[in-house]
Structure 1
Amino acid sequence: MAKYTRGTVKDFPGFDARADAEALRKAMKGLGTDEEPVLKILTGRSNAQRQEIAVAFKTLFGRDLVDDLKAELGGKFETLMVALMRPTRLFDAHALKHAIKGAGTDEKVLTEILASRTPAEIRNIKQVYQEEYEANLEDHITSDTSGYYQRMLVVLLQANRDPDGHVNDGLVEKDAQELFRASELKWGTDEEKFITILGTRSVAHLRKVFDKYMTISGYQIEETIDRETSGALEKLLLAIVKCVRSVPAYFAESLFYAMKGAGTNDNTLIRIIVSRSEIDLLDIRQTFRRNFAKSLYHVIQKDTSGDYRKGLLMLCGGEDD
């Protein structure tokens, strides 16, 4: 599996789980909480190190660190610190579980995670979901979604995208022609063709298909999807196309819109910053700066406040001039 090295959060050198556990207990003991050590420690350690701190905390004090964080902190700051304590392997499975729990489905979360993860990552999510919740992720998703949107999600959940390798130019031409026939040349849209091609072809192959499609039709594939589909399916197909073109660019755009206009979508902000902090947040930052002419750090600073802002900025890891 790919070893990610473009994160902003790394292992802390000279790490001492017991010392960190003691510092956290001291910060939260008695009346009031000293948020500064909590901030500094939890944003300054890798997820693996945070899990060691949680074990040391329970060993030394017989207390659950996450329970103490929930009891002592509040609001968005608490949500961010608790998200940091969630083991990496559980993060996506937990987000998906909460997206389909209770009344209504958070399609934004399903779309973001399943469109952006690699087949290996999706297989891992399914396995963890089964272990943690004793349930089949596909069953849960199909019981909460419908139509072509559901079918596209099911294809992605199979995690059978062709591996990147040699690209067959003949098949590129054929796929581009089929997408053209399924949309621009047709009254109505043949959604099934989009689902099969976008859900099963390799990333390298799809990039060439999109270029060929532009040559044949005169349109970017995104323009056609925008015109020919709507609702949750449109958002999912566009997310897949954007992730094929560039995963960091997809997340940069998601972060930009999470903080654009009145109000901030804090759930999206926290989910992306935390989940990508050890993977590719440096790339996301660079793309954000290039595409939106301002730094991610600056926008977070402007659109958030208090300890919550401090935590996000520490995870963001600095300005991009």
Structure 2
Amino acid sequence: MSGYPPPVGFNTNPDAPAGYPPQGPMGFPPQGGYPPQGGQMGYPPQGQMGYPPQDQMGYPPQGQMGYPPQGQMGYPPQGQMGYPPQGLMGQLPPQGQMGYPPYGGQPGYGGAPSPQGGYTNVSGYGPPQPMGLGYGAGAVAGPSGSCSGGAAMGFLSIYYSGRPTVVPIPCFNPCDDAENLRKAMRGLGTDEGCIIAVLSKRTCGQRSEIAKKYKASFGKDLDKHLKSELSGKFEELVLLSLETLPEMLATTMHDAMKGAGTDERLLIQALVPYPNAIVGEIPKAYNKKYGRDIIADVRGDTSGDFEKILVALLQAQREEGTPVSVNCAAADAEALYKAGEKRLGTEEAVFTRILTQRSFEQIKAICQCYQQKYGKSLETAIKKETSGNYRDTMVSIVRYAEDKNALLATWFYESMVGIGTRDKALMQLVLGRCEIDLQDVKEAYQRKYGKCLVKAIENDTSGDYKRMLVALVGP
């Protein structure tokens, strides 16, 4: 007996008891779809979908594990729980565009800096957007049968949004940018400064538009021309910046597994902190670029429970856009206790299923319930019951749920601490977060380590590679 309630189908009645999702192929719940278009992707009216006020959802005093009656799980006024006030959200992209901004025509943010050196303006930038929707992911619904028992409602989770450091520039002109890049690579020598000024201050969608204009205007692929002109880590960073987020993550996962040895941290960083809409595209991008099945490669390069949790994450079956259920959190906390600390040995499959399928909001509630009911943190229990890369993956999931910015700051720190730099991990973090929440991560880094992230990068890198990283991270 695992302590789970009997499975039920997707329940659209928010007052009905919560159940667990029906199992699909490979033990995962059915794939969820995207919420309907037409203005249903923003926050719902106040009181219908956030977290409840503190006095209605907080866990009861220790020893009183009763849960609030149904009907008290309302949502707080806007501005609480880290959600922005209504009106700060950017317009979500049309369905099928994976959360990336539309190419061209981005609204301006104010005056751009004056052109320099005879080039058309290449570095205009305005104030950061409240929510990053470039590399960031749009709102998506969780799989049907989600544990909350309520209807999945579209919203942009705080776990996949924040304050970016790279935003669309005003008066974006891909033709001018393509011409400036051609001038930077024409003749003897290369103007690396112009390349940095253009590519570091354009969003992923804008870089893609520049590449299209470059091909149309000059008959040559921009990435191939850049590859012929650049070298080393600067070349690698520039070429990665031309890829979409799923493509960049697929590339770094391939790099983590090629050759002798495996960079397990790159694999964990690629899969844990991104939504289904992004993770679900990684296998397609991987197959398109390398002609290989990423799941087969993961299975060939890893083993045991670490292999299983990576494969589970690649299914992109995390519940998203569903309200937190305290009853489900209590049931999951009990199931984890019975699968771990209560018994001899560990039932790893229970840990893998819960931590790869529950939303991060729900996992945070599970952590709170576990602490209150058993007197220790879920992270402590995981460290006691598991080991190695499997343990590190689960600890990363729990820490991301509890404080995503603190975890990302730690990953930045670990990519640069000690002798040498883990450059691939650093590039993956900078490019992966600069259009989502890197400004928030910078502040978390300052709080946690008492130093500026930009200064740390400047001290640990050099040359044009350093200048490109610093330009992406911002002042």
TM-score, normalised with respect to structure 1: 0.90
Who is 2:421 aligned against?
264
Select the residue among 162, 176, 194 that pairs with 1:37: 194
On the 8 A contact 1:164/1:203 being kept in 2, the answer is: no
Who is 2:439 aligned against?
282
Q: In structure 2, how many angstroms separate the alpha carbons of the residues matched to 1:99 and 1:39?
A: 26
Partner secondary structure for residue 246 of structure 1: helix
Who is 1:273 aligned against?
430
Q: In structure 1, how many angstroms separate the alpha carbons of the residues matched to 2:399 and 2:460?
A: 25
User: After the TM superposition, which residues 154-193 of structure 1 pair with which residues of structure 2 at under 5 Å, given as runs?
Assistant: 154-193=311-350
Who is 2:102 aligned against?
none
On the 8 A contact 1:164/1:204 being kept in 2, the answer is: no
- Residue 252, structure 1, aligned to residue 409, structure 2: yes
* Shift of residue 119, structure 1, vs aligned partner: 2.1
Partner secondary structure for residue 343 of structure 2: coil
- Residue 153, structure 1, aligned to residue 310, structure 2: yes
Q: In structure 2, how many angstroms separate the alpha carbons of the residues matched to 1:89 and 1:122?
A: 7
* Shift of residue 61, structure 1, vs aligned partner: 2.6
On the 8 A contact 2:256/2:266 being kept in 1, the answer is: yes
TM-score, normalised with respect to structure 2: 0.62
Who is 2:184 aligned against?
27
Residues 74 and 128 of structure 1: CA distance in aligned 2, closer, same or farther (over 3 Å): closer
User: After the TM superposition, which residues 1-321 of structure 1 pair with which residues of structure 2 at under 5 Å, given as runs?
Assistant: 1-2=138-139, 4=161, 6-318=163-475
Residues 266 and 131 of structure 1: CA distance in aligned 2, closer, same or farther (over 3 Å): closer
* Shift of residue 169, structure 1, vs aligned partner: 2.7
1:94 counterpart letter in structure 2: T
Who is 2:144 aligned against?
none
2:337 counterpart letter in structure 1: F
Q: CA RMSD in A?
A: 2.2
For residues 233-267 of structure 1, the C-alpha deviation after alignment (integer angstroms, 9 at most, x for no partner) is: 11111111122223332221100111112211111
Structure number with greater Rg is 2
1:252 counterpart letter in structure 2: A
Residues 131 and 76 of structure 1: CA distance in aligned 2, closer, same or farther (over 3 Å): closer
Moved more, 231-240 or 65-74: 65-74
Structure 1: 5+ residue stretches without partners: none
Partner secondary structure for residue 265 of structure 2: helix
Residues 125 and 25 of structure 1: CA distance in aligned 2, closer, same or farther (over 3 Å): same
* Shift of residue 23, structure 1, vs aligned partner: 1.8
On the 8 A contact 2:162/2:440 being kept in 1, the answer is: no
Q: In structure 1, how many angstroms separate the alpha carbons of the residues matched to 2:335 and 2:411?
A: 30
Q: In structure 2, how many angstroms separate the alpha carbons of the residues matched to 1:49 and 1:246?
A: 31
For residues 87-118 of structure 1, the C-alpha deviation after alignment (integer angstroms, 9 at most, x for no partner) is: 33422222223333444433222211221121
Structure 2: 5+ residue stretches without partners: 1-137, 140-155
Q: In structure 2, how many angstroms separate the alpha carbons of the residues matched to 1:167 and 1:50?
A: 38
Q: In structure 1, how many angstroms separate the alpha carbons of the residues matched to 2:331 and 2:204?
A: 45
2:322 counterpart letter in structure 1: G
Q: In structure 2, how many angstroms separate the alpha carbons of the residues matched to 1:218 and 1:5?
A: 32
Per residue, is there more helix in 1 or in 2?
1
Residues 265 and 132 of structure 1: CA distance in aligned 2, closer, same or farther (over 3 Å): closer
On the 8 A contact 2:249/2:428 being kept in 1, the answer is: no
Q: In structure 2, how many angstroms separate the alpha carbons of the residues matched to 1:51 and 1:164?
A: 29
On the 8 A contact 1:10/1:278 being kept in 2, the answer is: yes
* Shift of residue 163, structure 1, vs aligned partner: 3.5
Q: In structure 1, how many angstroms separate the alpha carbons of the residues matched to 2:394 and 2:322?
A: 23
